Amino acid sequence: MLLAIDAGNTNTEFALIDGTELRNSWRMSTDPRRTADEYAVWLTQLMALDGVTRDAVTASIIATVVPEALFNLTGLCRKYFNGPPMVVGDPSVKMTIRAVIDRPEEVGADRLVTALAARDLYGCPLIVVDFGTATTFDVIDGDGNFAGGVIAPGINLSLQALYMAAAKLPRVAVRPTPTVIARSTVPAMQSGVFWGYIGLIEGLVRRMRAELGQNVPVVATGGLAPMFAGATDHITHIDRDLIMRGLVTLYQHNRLES
């Protein structure tokens, strides 16, 4: 069984992959100070609730955009899960997608892994929209390469900034409103954020399609993808587990190459 770990800026996801099937996954807040032992206590208890012992894990792979978290996550795999993990971005790990942009070294591991999964599952060219800490719009060109994209503030980051910057505005949850025009403060904030993001999605996708010269499909991923995809016809596919599918693909490719 493969342990796949995606350490993002806000949350870290741990997933158990049995063959190619995602068996279960768990999230915790990303904290570089958390030790390998702390990870192990938390994760092994959750695995036990699912009837899985840590000995069932035979390999592991990590993708992270938080370099400070890598040391302890690597230590977790070494000490508790049968040896050193495969780490996306390490020179020994061969990527199955090329970044044909000005500075390929700047592309986050999560964006590349998500892009290669989307390409393999949905074909190319296409656009991948990932609703994470940042909302990213990534392009896979007709040759299957990562060809650049857009980075916008994430939905929860926008809500937090609004709450912190305006003394009289409360903290609100993300949710669609039945109408754009609201008659009180909380629905007005929810409308502005939700329908504002729909406008962002539709506007950027429309402009990106125009630059690409074709009506390419759009795949949405991330926890909030279903909420936004249901409010616009610019999103053609929803796949919340793209990055984990990409980590499985990458692991299998490198295992066969070795």
We report the CATH number of the domain holding residue 80 as 3.30.420.40
How far is the CA of 128 from the CAs of 79, 120, 121, 234, 240, in angstroms? 35, 12, 12, 12, 11
81 and 120 together in one domain? no
| Residue ranges at the known binding site for ATP | 6-13, 133
How does DSSP assign 57-106, residue by residue?
A: --EEEEEES-HHHHHHHHHHHHHHTTSPPEETTSTTSPPSS-B-SS-GGG
53 and 131 together in one domain? no
80 and 110 together in one domain? no
Catalytic: 55? Answer: no
69 and 186 together in one domain? no
Radius of gyration for the chain, computed over Cα atoms and rounded to the nearest angstrom: 19
154 and 80 together in one domain? no
Which residue among 87, 117, 142 closes a domain?
87
* Per-residue tokens: 241: 């587990």
Which residue among 87, 114, 148 closes a domain?
87
Kindly state whether residue 95 falls inside one of the protein's structural domains.
no
144 and 207 together in one domain? yes
147 and 223 together in one domain? yes
Let me know: does 59 contact 220? Beta carbons within 8 Å: no
39 and 124 together in one domain? no
What pLDDT does residue 211 have? 96
Kindly state whether residue 255 falls inside one of the protein's structural domains.
no
* Banded model confidence at residue 59, pLDDT cuts 50, 70, 90: very high
Kindly state whether residue 257 falls inside one of the protein's structural domains.
no
Kindly state whether residue 99 falls inside one of the protein's structural domains.
no
| Residue ranges at the known binding site | 6-13, 108-111, 130, 133, 185
217 and 117 together in one domain? yes
Kindly state whether residue 118 falls inside one of the protein's structural domains.
yes
d(CA 7, CA 106): 17
pLDDT tens-digit series, residues 74-119: 999 999 998 999 999 899 999 989 999 999 988 988 899 999 999 9
Kindly state whether residue 146 falls inside one of the protein's structural domains.
yes
State pTM to two decimals. Answer: 0.87
130 and 196 together in one domain? yes
Which residue among 23, 57, 87 closes a domain?
87
pLDDT tens-digit series, residues 180-228: 999 998 888 889 889 999 999 999 999 999 999 999 999 999 888 988 8
Q: Report the number of distinct structural domains present in the chain.
A: 2
- Catalytically annotated residue among 18, 31, 90, 110: 110
44 and 112 together in one domain? no
Among 19-23, 74-78, 81-85, 253-257, top mean pLDDT goes to 74-78
171 and 223 together in one domain? yes
* pLDDT higher at 85 or 255: 85
Enclosing domain of residue 203: 104-245
pLDDT tens-digit series, residues 149-175: 999 988 887 777 777 777 667 778 888
| Residue ranges at the known binding site for K(+) | 130
Kindly state whether residue 97 falls inside one of the protein's structural domains.
no
Kindly state whether residue 224 falls inside one of the protein's structural domains.
yes
